[in-house]
């Protein structure tokens, strides 16, 4: 029987290199990358199987980038969410986030909250943006909440306090040829299939995603059994 793909996660890497190879500023790569986010989200919303798409948009480590680039990414995110509302509604996409939103500006937090509220009844796909997200940070926050009452913590207890109440990841894709997990969803990928492509994120297309999914469907998933 072919594997079902309910939850797809992507590490969108290579925006900077894409821009550099064209003699452009790095931020132009992020701008093009945001367009690809739209194409891939629309593709997933129109697939019968995919219910959740979790995209790594800003990690807990990305604050180390030059201030100009960080500021640009924050503005791009705000602009993207405002422009995207029409697409979310048209394609039936519910918007959600994981990560600690605390350090973001009030303006961006408001835009995020409004977008979540406006799309909360959409049901074709949930698009989750990982924002100021790091798996170690998520696990630490969850453990601290879970052990407040001093009891032994079960798997269920811990999962209740993780950022994502959604199902485990079936397939994780990283673009740009890097073969690292970069602190992404370390709990939720326990049995995920991994796929690495050399394509830089701004060049990634629904056609390539479709090929990767076809390949995923043929793989044997045993979850530790035989
Ligand atoms: C990695 O490329 C990408 C990021 C750190 C940010 C991801 C952001 C986007 C795809 C665009 C904005 C997204 C939304 C949802 C509006 P990199 O800069 O590390 O590339 P490099 O490794 O080639 O330098």
Give residue-wise pLDDT tens across range 7-63: 999 999 999 999 999 999 999 999 999 999 999 999 999 999 999 999 999 999 999
Measure 17 CA to ligand 1 centroid, in angstroms.
Answer: 10
Token readout for 209 is: 């995603």
Determine which residue's CA is closest to atom 6 belonging to ligand 1.
57
Predicted local confidence at residue 157, as pLDDT: 87
Give residue-wise pLDDT tens across range 87-102: 999 999 999 999 999 9
Q: Which atom of ligand 1 is nearest to the CA of 20?
A: 23
Token readout for 142 is: 């969850």
Predicted local confidence at residue 164, as pLDDT: 82
Is there a contact between 99 and 185 (Cβ–Cβ < 8 Å)?
no
Q: Is 183 a catalytic residue?
A: no
Residues 6+ apart with CB under 8 A from 97: 112, 116, 128, 129, 130, 131
Q: Where are the alpha helices (DSSP H) in the chain?
A: 15-20, 26-45, 67-91, 106-119, 135-146, 155-161, 206-218
Is there a contact between 56 and 133 (Cβ–Cβ < 8 Å)?
yes
- What pTM was estimated for this model as a whole? 0.96
Q: What is the secondary structure of 109-136 as a DSSP string?
A: HHHHHHHHHHHTT--SEEEEEEEEE-HH
Q: Which residues line ligand 1 (CB under 6 A)?
A: 12-17, 30, 33-34, 37, 57, 62, 76-77, 80, 129, 201
Sole residue written with tokens 């989750």: 128
């Amino acid at each position: 029987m072919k594997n079902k793909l309910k939850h797809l996660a992507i590490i969108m890497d290579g925006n900077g290199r894409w821009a550099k190879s064209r003699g452009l500023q790095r931020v132009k790569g992020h701008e093009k990358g945001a367009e690809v986010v739209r194409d891939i989200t629309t593709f997933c919303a129109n697939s019968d199987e995919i219910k959740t798409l979790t995209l790594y948009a800003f990690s807990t480590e990305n604050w180390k980038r030059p201030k100009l680039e960080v500021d640009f990414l924050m503005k791009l995110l705000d602009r993207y969410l405002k422009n995207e509302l029409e697409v979310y509604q048209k394609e039936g996409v519910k918007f959600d986030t994981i990560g600690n939103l605390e350090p973001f500006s009030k303006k961006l937090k408001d835009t995020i909250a409004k977008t979540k509220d406006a799309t909360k009844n959409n049901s074709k796909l949930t698009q989750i943006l990982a924002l100021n997200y790091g798996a170690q940070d998520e696990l630490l926050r969850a453990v601290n909440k879970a052990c407040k009452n001093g009891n032994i913590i079960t798997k269920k207890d811990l999962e209740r306090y993780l950022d994502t109440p959604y199902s485990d990841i079936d397939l994780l894709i990283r673009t740009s040829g890097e073969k690292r997990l970069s602190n992404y969803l370390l709990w939720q990928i326990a049995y995920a299939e991994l796929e690495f492509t050399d394509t830089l994120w701004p060049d990634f297309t629904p056609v390539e995603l479709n090929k990767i999914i076809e390949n995923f469907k043929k793989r044997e998933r045993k979850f530790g059994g035989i």
